[in-house]
């Protein structure tokens, strides 16, 4: 391809190109996957690492061009593997890749760590023919190191900015995965969530984020916080692209037993991309507490979004009251599970790094000093003070309480009371309940404040209700088409 053609594609066609858009061009030989990778690499150079300097990428895959070329040859000689064949995908830097990229969770302690093998989600991406273009920055350790760390900051990757304006928070912890997709630095991305880490950057960067039911996607090979709440999930500019990616990511994994409870193995999520998906749906608005945290401008956007739900055929119950909303919650489950789960992960890290326990990581951070501990490591210290023993009564009592408050007295109760299909929260402000319950949520762009800050509407449901949530989200997205690309 001539440089002039490449420049035109980079500046015009590639903006907001969907998976289907790209596949059409790949199949018609209008572009190759290798050329596509070059376009995205050029944008990363000009937008991410210079110019606006969004700083969403922490590392680029040095083998991306060669992988793309091999996939081009495979398409020519054997045909396409499917919708992700030749599609550049970026993944969060807490997801293992057994290649020439590091997996560090944004930390200096693991800055030189090479994983021995791909995480299960990375394997699935490669099997589907995706090109893993690089790793995205994140709030360090998925925002489980310090209490006051800004979203999108890590010691290794420094600060990621919001493409819609650096005055707006970028959201986290999957900050780079959100900002990169908003800025069109890749086609889709993979984030991870424990409590709001997909929903927050999706809302703040005006993209779609799906936080799946815990058990839909394997966590094997992902630097953990909590086996009770952790999950990976798709982040994309459209609900359709997110559904395509979810098809690839989901599945069972004997190394992650919760995935053996996956009720949706045979489901094609793209079958739920229905324009009339909101018709007849009953949706509850969780105003108590959550809407009180919105600015006046954000509240105006959300109220308009709720009106649209009615216009598009939904029955809206406004407000609903979730009885457990104002209960006192603790983070004992996270503190105990982080220590146990992290130390299990560290068993497979290169021994030359000298980190096998949480105590080792804390000590290494102290040795590195201010650069590693700009915001401290209070959560590490708090976690390390626990026994790490998952038979400890303190842990078990909190685990039981969380389960009851989030499920039985929370989402299950209110959805049964009103016979709801979904609950609406603004942005990621209601992330706690579905996160603790292990239930799914999907965020879709709902508009922008007077200042230009993106606002997202989040739909949450019961376990394995992703098909219903996708119907709702797609119908809302297509009925509003609020998203606009950032002006970089």
Tell me the catalytic residues.
92, 173, 197
Instruction: Find the Cα–Cα–Cα–Cα dihedral 13, 67, 252, 22, rounded to 10°.
Output: 20
CA distance 295 to 447: 14
Going by the DSSP 8-state scheme, the letter that residue 99 receives in this structure is S
CA distance 192 to 96: 12
CA distance 277 to 269: 13
CA distance 189 to 248: 12
Using an 8 Å Cβ cutoff, are 57 and 161 in contact? no
Cα separations (Å) of 334 from 160, 256, 359?
Answer: 25, 18, 17
Measured in residues, the chain has a length of 488
* Cα dihedral sign, 153-158-159-163: negative
Residue 154 is encoded by which pair of tokens? 């890590």
Buried b (16+ CB within 10 A) or exposed e, 105-129: bbbbbbbebbbeebbbbbbbbbebb
CA distance 129 to 320: 44
Residue 417 is encoded by which pair of tokens? 């009371």
CA distance 97 to 89: 13
Residue 196 is encoded by which pair of tokens? 């709001």
CA distance 403 to 409: 9
CA distance 242 to 178: 13
Residue 315's closest CA among 291, 279, 288?
279
CA distance 220 to 224: 9
Angle between helices 466-480 and 239-249 (to 10 degrees): 160
CA distance 74 to 81: 9
CA distance 321 to 413: 10
CA distance 483 to 207: 8
Angle between helices 239-249 and 19-27 (to 10 degrees): 80
């Amino acid at each position: 391809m001539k440089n002039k053609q490449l420049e035109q594609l980079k500046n015009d066609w590639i903006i907001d190109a969907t998976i289907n858009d790209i596949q059409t061009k790949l199949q018609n030989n209008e572009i190759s996957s290798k050329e596509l990778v070059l376009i995205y690499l050029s944008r990363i150079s000009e937008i991410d690492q210079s110019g606006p300097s969004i700083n969403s990428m922490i590392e680029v895959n040095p083998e991306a061009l060669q992988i793309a070329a091999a996939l081009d040859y495979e398409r020519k000689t054997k045909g396409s593997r499917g919708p992700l064949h030749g599609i550049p995908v970026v993944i969060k830097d807490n997801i293992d890749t057994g290649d020439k990229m590091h997996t560090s969770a944004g930390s200096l302690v693991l800055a030189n760590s090479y994983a021995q093998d791909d995480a299960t989600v990375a394997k699935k991406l490669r099997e589907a023919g995706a090109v893993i273009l690089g790793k995205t920055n994140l709030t360090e350790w998925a925002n489980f190191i310090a209490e006051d760390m800004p979203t999108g900051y890590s010691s290794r990757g420094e600060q990621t900015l919001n493409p819609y304006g650096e005055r707006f928070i970028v959201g986290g912890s999957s900050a780079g995965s959100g900002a990169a997709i908003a800025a069109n630095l890749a086609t889709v991305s993979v984030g991870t969530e424990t409590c709001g880490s997909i929903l927050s950057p999706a809302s703040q960067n005006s993209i779609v984020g799906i936080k799946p039911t815990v058990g839909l996607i394997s966590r094997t090979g992902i630097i953990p916080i909590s086996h009770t709440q952790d999950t990976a999930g798709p982040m994309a500019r459209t609900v359709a692209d997110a559904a395509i990616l979810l098809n690839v990511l989901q599945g069972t994994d004997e190394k992650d037993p919760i995935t053996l409870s996956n009720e949706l193995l045979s489901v094609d999520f793209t079958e739920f991309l229905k324009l009339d998906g909101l018709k007849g749906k009953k949706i509850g608005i969780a105003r108590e507490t959550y809407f009180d945290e919105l600015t006046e401008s954000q509240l105006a956007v959300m109220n308009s979004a709720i009106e649209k739900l009615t216009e598009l055929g939904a029955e809206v119950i406004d407000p609903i009251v979730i009885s457990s909303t104002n209960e006192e919650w603790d983070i004992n489950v996270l503190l105990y599970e982080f220590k146990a789960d992290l130390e299990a992960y560290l068993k497979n890290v290169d021994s030359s790094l000298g980190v096998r326990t949480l105590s080792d990581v804390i000590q290494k951070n102290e040795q590195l000093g201010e650069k590693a501990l700009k915001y401290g490591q209070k959560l590490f210290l708090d976690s390390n003070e626990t026994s790490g023993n998952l038979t400890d009564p303190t842990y078990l009592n909190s685990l039981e309480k969380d389960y009851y408050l989030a499920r039985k007295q929370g989402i299950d109760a209110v959805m049964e009371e009103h016979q709801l299909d979904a609950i609406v929260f603004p942005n990621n402000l209601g992330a706690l309940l579905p996160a603790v319950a292990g239930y799914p949520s999907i965020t879709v762009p709902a508009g922008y404040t007077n200042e230009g800050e993106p606002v997202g509407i989040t739909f949450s449901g019961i376990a394995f209700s992703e098909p219903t949530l996708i119907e709702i989200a797609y119908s809302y997205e297509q009925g509003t088409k609020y998203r606009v690309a950032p002006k970089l």
